[in-house]
Amino acid sequence: MHIAILTFEGYNELDSLIALGVLNRIKRDDWRVTIATPAAQVTSMNGVTIGQMSSLEEAVSADAVIVGSGIATREVVQNPAIMGVLRGLDPQRQLIAAQCSGALVLAKLGLLRDVPACTDLTTKPWVIAAGVDVLNQPFFAKGNIATAGGCLASQYLAAWVIARLCGKDEAAAALHYVAPVGEKQDYIDRAWRNIGSYLPAERHTLLDVG
């Protein structure tokens, strides 16, 4: 199972790296989480340089893809080489999620037709201009497409991906690990208030891991 987090030049560390950390709480031999970049290295909006773990071409064939955010997303969607590769994304065969300005990428790819989106306040007018309704909430999903708005909503995207691929109990356990001491059940409850209605019904119930 490969989960790729698309991460571009000028990326937001909170968007890509929180998701990376939460997703890597799953300890399975077939579970692989990568930072997928268009170049050998990318540098964040705050000067943090990271190396490529997988290519965009590999990401397009991943089981799940999270499109990260950053200060150069408008440049990304105007880059024909990058967008040409990303046109291979297909919600019929993979989970596709977008964090903050990543929603603009999905909009420009035509993946948000008749699907409202969540995004950050800076990106909101650009997504609206792309013909997509923007919701005033942190998370929304329809079918295999999900979006989140606000850097710390990245935990919701990660939990949604884990819940869809592994189950709700595994998602709750991952959130429990990263949540602050003394607030763990509060964090899990809040996450489920935001993402629970967008998950398919399961026969097993969420474990109380508080």
**CATH code: domain of residue 179:** 3.40.50.880
Residue 210 lies inside a defined structural domain of this protein: no
Number of Cβ within 10 Å of residue 181's Cβ equals: 5
As for how many domains the chain has, the answer is: 1
Model confidence over 127-174: pLDDT tens digits?
A: 999 999 999 999 999 999 999 999 999 999 999 999 999 999 999 999
Instruction: Give the whole-angstrom CA distance, residue 125 versus residue 114.
Output: 17
Q: Give a yes or no: residue 205 inside a domain.
A: no
Q: Which domain holds residue 117?
A: 2-198
Q: Where are the beta strands (DSSP E) in the chain?
A: 2-6, 32-37, 41-43, 49-51, 54-55, 64-67, 95-99, 139-142, 145-148
Q: What is the pTM of this model?
A: 0.92
Share of the chain above pLDDT 90, in %: 94
pLDDT in tens, 78-115: 999 999 999 999 999 999 999 999 999 999 999 999 89
Task: For residue 184, give both structure tokens.
Answer: 């763990």
Whether 173 maps to a domain, the answer reads: yes
Would 114 be classed as within a structural domain? yes
Residue 208 lies in a domain: no
